[in-house]
Amino acid sequence: MVKVIRRNEFEDVKKAGVAVVDFSATWCNPCRMLAPVMEELSDEYAGAVEFYNCDVDENGDLASEYGITSIPAIIIFKEGKATAKTVGFQPKANMKSFIDANK
């Protein structure tokens, strides 16, 4: 399950061993297309990788802090540090490869 987070919950991301954060917005069509892909992947990686969603409209300071200028933007965090980033909709196979290469 993808957990929706706000700024005050971002410490959860930093505490996770490996976390995937989807920076998106409700009005963004590619973001809406990616959401079910992220849900499926969160089930497949359950127990190994934590999945989060962060709305850039509600958390502009976080988006700015991590250099989000286009959405959807996916950042992988390891031990609390951003280690990889990809932008735009990607099919499940591509997203899985991105996660596997960076987890």
Residue 1 has pLDDT above 90, yes or no: yes
Q: Does domain 3-102 have CATH number 3.40.30.10?
A: yes
Q: Could you tell me if 18 and 49 are in contact, meaning their C-beta atoms sit under 8 angstroms apart?
A: yes
Q: Is 31 tagged catalytic?
A: yes
Rounded Cα distance, 20 and 26, in Å = 18
Q: Is 28 a catalytic residue?
A: yes
Chain centroid offset of residue 69 CA: 14
Q: Encode pLDDT of 24-77 as tens digits.
A: 999 999 999 999 999 999 999 999 999 999 999 999 999 999 999 999 999 999
Residue 76 in contact with residue 18, Cβ under 8 Å? yes
Place of tokens 């932008």: 87
User: Has residue 19 got a pLDDT over 90?
Assistant: yes
Quick one: DSSP state of residue 83? E
**Residue tagged active-site, from 13, 31, 34, 68:** 31
Q: Domain residues of the chain, as ranges?
A: 3-102
Single out the catalytic residue among 28, 63, 74, 99: 28
